[in-house]
Amino acid sequence: MSLPLSLALYRLGTAALEPLAALLLKRRAAKGKEDPTRLNERLARPTAPRPDGRLVWMHGASVGESLSILPLVERLRAERPKVSLLVTSGTVTSARLLATRLPPGVIHQYAPVDTPGGARRFIAHWRPDLAVFVESELWPNLLLAAKATGTRLALVSAKLSDKSYDRWRAKPFAAHQLFSGFDLILAQDSRAAERFASLGGTVTGEADLKFGSAPLPVDPAELSRLKAQLADRSLLLAASTHPGEDEIVLDAVAGLPDRPRLVMVPRHVERGPAIAEAARARGLTVSLRSLDPQATTPVMVADTLGELGLWFRLADLALVAGSLVPGIGGHNPLEPARLSCPIVSGPHVENWLTAYAELSAVDGVTLADASVLGERLAAALADPAAGRSQAERAGAFVAARDAEARAGLTRIIELVP
C-alpha cells in the first residue's frame, strides 16, 4: 500500500529516530517522566505474554482518557468474558492509577513509542482483534500496522482541537487514509463529528466515554471513620491541584471568615511536601496524609492515589482544580456530580468545555476566577441548602448523559465477536 507523502515522511522520520529512542526515554526517566523499570514496554518489548484467544486493546493517553476506558473494560468482562483485555497508557500517573482501578486479569502496558519497528513489534506480539483509541490519541505507525494485520479499529470520544484539525486539513490525503480506516467512530459531540467526517472518517454517532463511568470507589470503613472525625466543621476539597493553584486556594481560604477544613489533593502526589510548606508559610497547621493518615488538621494534603471518591463523599464543596491558571484545561467535574458534591471551578476548562457548558446551563456548577474565588467559596459554604440543590441538578444531568454513553459502549462491544 502506497502512503501519502506526509505519512511516508513521518514514517521515515520516526524510523531515523528509532535508534535514539532508548536514550531519550532514559533521559525522561531521570526527570520522573517515565517509569525506569518499564522502559522496555515503551520500546515495544512487552513484559507480559499474549493470552490465547481473542484480545481487545484499549488505549488512552493520560489519566482522564485512561480512566474513561474503565466502563468499557467492565462491560467487556461481563459480556465477552472469554476475550482478553489489554489497556495501554502513556504517563506514569495513569499507570499508577490504572494499577489500582483495573480488574484482575486485565493487562496494562505502556504504549510504545510510535516508530515503524516498534509498531510492528507491538502488533505482532499482541495481535489485537479490536483496537479502541480514546479522544485524539492517534499514532500513524501503530494505526497502519494494526490495520495491515486485519485489526478492527474504533475511535471513541473522538475529538480534535482547533490546532489538530487545522494540521490534518493541511494533509487531506493522509487524514483520509487514517480516518477512513476506522471501523467505528463515535464523536464526542456534533462539532467533532463534523470535523472527522470532513477528514474522511465515517462517524456512526456520538458518545463521550467520560460519561458512563460508575461513581468513584471508596473504602467504606475509612469513609465512616473520617465522617465521624471531620464532623466538627465544613470541609472544602481542592481536587487535582497544579503548581500555581495551591497558593491561590490557600490565600482564598485564609481570607474566609468561617474557615473550613481544607483538603488539598494534588494532581501529582509527589508535590505533597511542597503544598504543605506553602500552607505552613501562611501560618496554617497542615498534615500529609501519606505520612499521617490519622491526622485531622485544619489543612490536610491528601497526597495519596485513588482516594478522590472518599473526599468527594466527605466534602461540603469541591473546587475542581486544573482550572484556576491557564494551560492545563481543567479536570473532570462529572466525578463530584455523580456523588452529589457541589462544584466550584475556575474558568480555564478547555478540556471539559462541553461538560461545563452543559452543567452551567442547568445551574449545576459555580465558576470563579482567582480574583473572586474566596467570595464564591464563602457564599457556597454559607448556604449548604443551595449547594445541595445545585448538586442535585448536576447529578440529574450527568445521569442522563451516562445513559447515552452506555448505549455507545454497546456499539463498541458489537465489534467483538
Q: Looking at the annotation, which residues are catalytic?
A: 65
Compute how many other C-beta atoms are within 10 angstroms of the C-beta atom of residue 23.
9
Taking phi over 0 as left and psi of -120 to 50 as alpha, with beta for the rest, 44 belongs to left
CA angle at 207 for the pair 407 and 136, rounded to the nearest 5°: 140
Sort strands 317-320 and 107-110 into parallel, antiparallel or unpaired: unpaired
Q: Which runs of E-coded beta strand occur in 47-181?
A: 55-59, 84-89, 107-110, 130-134, 152-158
**What is the grid cell recorded at 98?**
490504572
Element (H, E) at 241: strand 235-241
Burial classification of residue 34, based on how many CB atoms lie within 10 Å of its CB (0-12 exposed, 13-18 middle, 19 or more buried): buried
- Cα gap 319→242, rounded to integer Å: 12
- Cα gap 231→260, rounded to integer Å: 11
Burial classification of residue 379, based on how many CB atoms lie within 10 Å of its CB (0-12 exposed, 13-18 middle, 19 or more buried): middle
- Cα gap 225→348, rounded to integer Å: 35
Give me the residue label for grid cell 484480545. Answer: 55
Torsion sign (Cα): 397, 399, 404, 405: positive
The DSSP secondary structure of 339-354, one letter per residue, reads TT--EEE-S--GGGHH
**How far, in Å, are 70, 287, 353 from residue 318 at the CA level?**
23, 19, 18
236 and 359 Cβ atoms separated by less than 8 Å: no
**Rg of the chain's alpha carbons, rounded to an integer?**
22
